[in-house]
Structure 1
Amino acid sequence: MLAPMSSEPEQQIGVGTPDAFQRLWTPHRMAYIQGEGKPSGPGAGDGCPFCAIPEKSDEDGLVIARGEAVYAVLNLYPYSPGHLMVVPYRHVADYTELTAEETVELAALTKRAMAAIRTASGAHGFNIGMNQGAVAGAGIAAHLHQHVVPRWAGDANFMPVVGHTKVLPQLLGDTRRMVAAAWPTD
């Protein structure tokens, strides 16, 4: 529970002096904020996390499912629990660069992701999309990835609006196991 705000006049607070604010520390996000892990070139050896993930085990890479041309992976910095991405194995930046086969499989895995997340968590809806280029908001613009973000009625509460904080009720490894277990087989 957050502490009530004081109506007392503002006073100088020193290091270690308690104030009226409660804090949710998320130091793991500093790497994202500072742009660490952004690829310098087109491959795992060049720092592209989307090229490196398929080389890891499903658990270590947070991979939900693997197809022939694309795979589904949990987002390390999710907007909501179960937020995953569908990513081509091939290092391409733009949707227009996908082959017909990659395009079809990207759509098919997106449908399966929606079904799995609904089964695993009862999502009421989804935001699905991709940001093409850094100016459009792509965090890793060099490697195409489509977001599948589950939504629930009332999920945008006071925390992101007032506290500029996302509350995730589950560890990513637990979410990966839950969604992978619910993944449709056909």
Structure 2
Amino acid sequence: MAEQADHPGELDELWGAGTPDGFRRLWAPHRMAYIAGETGTGQVDGGGCPLCRIPTLGDDEGLVLHRGTRVYAVLNLHPYNPGHLMVVPYRHVAGLDELDTEESAELMAVTQQAVRALRAVASPHGYNVGINLGHVAGGSLADHLHQHVVPRWGGDANFITVIGQTKVIPQLLAETRASLAAAWPAPGAGDAA
């Protein structure tokens, strides 16, 4: 590039990018695979629903932690915190009210198993558990319902997150998947816990 910016935001003006937004950028070119729709093997998804496609992959490749009868658990490819996972019905439905009774029951049972596995592996201080219904509610894959389970620790939103607007994930997803899958409780295990 022939011209150099002397201060942050000058490049935005130089390139006509509009008003600077105040965010600093952490360059992560490995995320381009997600944007381009590529899987871990370099194959392009083809535009279908990624949450429908994940069960067709092997557990390691798909980051699958548990396969139930009606739902499965999978690591989030872009986690908010280490161990961020999702519990997903196999059936492609968008609304919570579209789940049948068995799917609803298994969604909650597998979510409980997820909390137990996270507690065994990572001892979080708390959890965020929830479903974003619709795009305006924050659902990036709003056409296929999924419940997030995000482990939380005191201080997990430290200065890097707050000041640098950057999230640090200290473990590779494959390693997180292996440890959580190994600790996944059997159905019914720990129900009295």
With normalisation by structure 2, the TM-score equals 0.77
Task: Map 1:88-99 to 2 at 5 A.
Answer: 88-99=89-100
Task: Map 1:100-179 to 2 at 5 A.
Answer: 100-179=101-180
Query: In the alignment, residue 130 of structure 1 is paired with which amino acid?
Result: I
Tell me how far apart the structure 2 counterparts of residues 107 and 80 of structure 1 sit (CA, whole Å). 21
- How far did residue 23 of structure 1 move? 7.3
Tell me how far apart the structure 2 counterparts of residues 12 and 136 of structure 1 sit (CA, whole Å). 39
Task: Map 1:22-33 to 2 at 5 A.
Answer: 24-30=26-32
With normalisation by structure 1, the TM-score equals 0.80
- How far did residue 31 of structure 1 move? 6.0
Tell me how far apart the structure 2 counterparts of residues 48 and 181 of structure 1 sit (CA, whole Å). 27
Tell me how far apart the structure 2 counterparts of residues 160 and 143 of structure 1 sit (CA, whole Å). 29
- How far did residue 28 of structure 1 move? 3.2
Query: In the alignment, residue 12 of structure 1 is paired with which amino acid?
Result: D
Query: In the alignment, residue 87 of structure 1 is paired with which amino acid?
Result: V
| Shift in alpha-carbon separation, 1:86–1:158, aligned structure 2, 3 A | same
Unpaired runs of at least 5, structure 2: 8-23, 38-44, 188-193
Deviations 1:94-123, CA, capped at 9 Å, x for gaps? 110000000000000000000000101111
**SS of match in other structure, 2:129:** strand
| Number of the residue aligned with 1:12 | 6
Tell me how far apart the structure 1 counterparts of residues 148 and 30 of structure 2 sit (CA, whole Å). 21
Deviations 1:24-80, CA, capped at 9 Å, x for gaps? 432234566x6x54xxxxxx8651000000000000000000000000000000000
Unpaired runs of at least 5, structure 1: 1-10, 14-21, 38-43
Tell me how far apart the structure 2 counterparts of residues 68 and 156 of structure 1 sit (CA, whole Å). 36
Tell me how far apart the structure 1 counterparts of residues 27 and 185 of structure 2 sit (CA, whole Å). 36
Query: In the alignment, residue 26 of structure 1 is paired with which amino acid?
Result: A
| Number of the residue aligned with 1:71 | 72
Tell me how far apart the structure 1 counterparts of residues 88 and 114 of structure 2 sit (CA, whole Å). 12
Tell me how far apart the structure 1 counterparts of residues 98 and 32 of structure 2 sit (CA, whole Å). 32
| Number of the residue aligned with 1:40 | none
